[in-house]
Amino acid sequence: MLFWQFSQFAFFTQVGSLFVVYTFDFIPRGTMETLISAHLTSFAVAFVMLFGNEMLLTSLYLASIIASLAHIFDILRSKFSNYSTFHTRLYTCSAEFDFMPFETLQKLSYTWLIPCAFLGIFLFVVFYNAVQTFCYSVMALLIMRLKLFMTPHLCICCAILANNEVLRSINIRLDKRIHAVLVVAIIAAMASEGKSNIEKQLRIKGEYSNPEQELLFDWIQKETKPTDVFAGTMPVMANVKLSTLRPILNHPHYEDVGIRERTEKVYSVFSKKPINEVHSTLKKMGANYFVFQLFNCAPEPNRPYCAYRGMWDEHDKRNIERVSNCDLFNVAVTQHDPSIILPFSIAYTRNLNYVVLKI
Residue 69 belongs to some domain of the structure: no
Q: What is the pLDDT of residues 48-99, one digit of tens each?
A: 887 777 767 766 677 655 555 666 777 878 888 888 888 888 887 877 778 8
**Residue range of the domain that includes 270:** 211-358
Using alpha carbons only, give the angle 219, 287, 295 rounded to the nearest 5 degrees: 60
Residue 17 belongs to some domain of the structure: yes
Residue type, 41: T
Name the phi and psi angles at 358, rounded to 5: -90, 135
Model-level pTM? 0.76
Secondary structure of 268-309 as H, E, C letters: HHHCCCCHHHHHHHHHHCCCCEEEECHHHHCCCCCCHHHCHH
Q: What is the DSSP letter of 336?
A: T
- The number of beta carbons lying within 10 Å of the beta carbon of residue 3 is 7
Residue 103 belongs to some domain of the structure: yes
Give the residue ranges of the chain where pLDDT is below 70: 1-6, 55, 58-60, 63-71, 122-125, 166, 169-170
221 plus 324 within the same structural domain: yes
Query: What is the rounded CA–CA span in Å between residue 228 and residue 250?
Result: 14
Q: What is the pLDDT of residues 262-285, one digit of tens each?
A: 999 999 999 999 999 999 999 999
Query: What is the rounded CA–CA span in Å between residue 167 and residue 189?
Result: 21
H-type helices in the chain, by residue range?
A: 7-23, 29-49, 54-57, 70-79, 86-92, 102-110, 113-121, 127-142, 147-159, 164-169, 176-203, 211-223, 234-244, 257-266, 275-284, 308-315, 325-334
Task: Provide the CATH number for the domain around residue 261.
Answer: 3.40.50
Query: What is the rounded CA–CA span in Å between residue 281 and residue 11?
Result: 37
Please identify, among 205, 231, 253, the residue that sits at the C-terminal boundary of a domain.
Answer: 205
86 CB-side CA count, 13 A: 19
223 plus 341 within the same structural domain: yes
304 plus 279 within the same structural domain: yes
CA distances to 308, 313, 324 from 332, rounded to whole Å, are 19, 22, 13
Query: What is the rounded CA–CA span in Å between residue 148 and residue 101?
Result: 14
46 plus 114 within the same structural domain: no
183 plus 219 within the same structural domain: no
